[in-house]
């Protein structure tokens, strides 16, 4: 049995689907989840990573855990996992934990807790995900407009389905124990290029507007903690060489290259129509 936390999110939902399609027993965990939210064959358990004791039912009979960075008590989560008899944890962390540890302390704390837990572990440091582009969905649907800062700075965003595919492989194969993988897409794309790719998928022009840093900061601060806003804008506007580099780790694990942004845009064009 594999426990998937964040099972209703972009990565978790895809991971639950992939595991059940492979006929792997799965317990899908989220704060608000029912059997209607998971595919046939998966077990849904409502629990909260901020309350480790609530995970006991989910961990019953499990041997592996896919863990998000959520809550403030990773040691408590892992203690409950060990008591339940789990032997392996795969942590979905952030690339920023390696490139900007001061700004991404929370993922770093989870990484340290996992590595010190006594469980078998693998850390997946994800780069920015292409699903962040859904923030444009309303403006593109209603006005065929997209806005973002740093319009010509490229980053190798990754499809969450590829993150999920790597997680599915790592959860089922002990060869990856003790590894830290950085997950990126196949090539850097700029916000301007991403808007153009969506336009191509729609078959209609999309006007791109470059925001100032201050405009972006004001919008992001409405739903993100200020340190995360600053760290995110630093990556978007002044990425390090490592943050712009395409990692080989997706292909190393899956034996294939990660999917392109254009392919993702084609697959999700309906969200922008």
pLDDT at residue 112, as a whole number = 98
> Is 268 exposed, middle or buried, given 0-12, 13-18 or 19+ CB atoms closer than 10 A?
middle
pTM (predicted TM-score): 0.95
Q: What's the alpha-carbon Rg for the chain, to the nearest Å?
A: 19
> Is 273 exposed, middle or buried, given 0-12, 13-18 or 19+ CB atoms closer than 10 A?
exposed
pLDDT at residue 228, as a whole number = 79
- Digits of tens for pLDDT over the chain (273 positions)? 999 999 999 999 999 999 999 999 999 999 999 999 999 999 999 999 999 999 999 999 999 999 999 999 999 999 999 999 999 999 999 999 999 998 889 999 999 999 999 999 999 999 999 999 999 999 999 999 999 999 999 999 999 999 999 999 999 999 999 999 999 999 999 999 999 999 999 999 999 999 999 999 998 899 888 877 888 899 999 999 999 999 999 999 999 999 999 999 999 999 999
Three-state DSSP class for 198? helix
pLDDT at residue 25, as a whole number = 97
Sorted by sequence, the CB contacts under 8 Å of residue 226 that are 6+ apart come out as: none
Q: What letter would DSSP give residue 259?
A: P
pLDDT at residue 88, as a whole number = 98
Tokens of 110: 């989870």
Sorted by sequence, the CB contacts under 8 Å of residue 66 that are 6+ apart come out as: 2, 3, 4, 5, 6, 12, 15, 89, 90, 92, 167, 171
Sorted by sequence, the CB contacts under 8 Å of residue 17 that are 6+ apart come out as: 39
- Asked if residue 45 lies in contact with residue 28, where contact means CB atoms within 8 angstroms, the answer is yes
pLDDT at residue 48, as a whole number = 97
The sign one gets for the Cα dihedral 9, 48, 84, 121 is positive
pLDDT at residue 102, as a whole number = 86
Distance CA(43)–CA(49), nearest Å, equals 17
| Measured torsion, CA atoms of residues 95, 172, 85, 40, in degrees rounded to the nearest 10 | 100
Convert the pLDDT of each residue in 93-147 to its tens digit.
999 999 999 888 999 999 999 999 999 999 999 999 999 999 999 999 999 999 9
pLDDT at residue 255, as a whole number = 98
Helices 10-21 & 160-172 angle (0-180, nearest 10)? 50
Tokens of 39: 């595919």
pLDDT at residue 226, as a whole number = 85
């Amino acid at each position: 049995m594999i426990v998937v936390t964040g099972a209703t999110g972009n990565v978790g939902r895809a991971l639950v689907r992939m595991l059940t399609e492979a006929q792997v027993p799965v317990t899908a965990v989220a704060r608000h989840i029912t059997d209607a939210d998971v595919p046939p064959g998966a077990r849904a358990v409502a629990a909260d990573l901020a309350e480790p004791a609530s995970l006991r039912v989910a961990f019953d009979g499990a041997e592996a855990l896919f863990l998000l960075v959520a809550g403030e008590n990773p040691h408590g989560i892992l203690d409950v996992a060990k008591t339940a008899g789990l032997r392996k944890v795969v942590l979905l962390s952030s690339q920023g934990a390696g490139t900007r540890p001061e700004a991404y302390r929370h993922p770093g704390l989870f990484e340290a807790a996992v590595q010190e837990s006594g469980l078998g572990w693998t850390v997946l440091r994800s780069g920015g995900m292409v699903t962040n582009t859904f923030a444009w969905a309303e403006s593109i649907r209603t006005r065929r407009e997209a806005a973002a800062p740093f319009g010509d700075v490229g980053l190798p965003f990754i499809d969450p389905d590829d993150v999920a595919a790597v997680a599915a492989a790592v959860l089922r194969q002990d060869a990856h124990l003790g590894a830290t993988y950085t997950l990126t897409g196949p090539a850097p794309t700029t916000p301007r290029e991403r808007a153009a790719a969506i336009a191509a998928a729609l078959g209609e022009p999309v006007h791109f507007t470059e925001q100032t840093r201050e405009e972006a900061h004001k919008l992001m601060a409405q739903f993100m903690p200020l340190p995360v806003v600053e760290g995110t804008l630093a990556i978007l506007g002044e990425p390090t060489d490592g943050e712009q580099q395409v990692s080989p780790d997706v292909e190393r694990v899956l034996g294939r290259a990660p999917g392109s942004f254009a392919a993702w845009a084609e697959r999700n064009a309906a969200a922008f129509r």
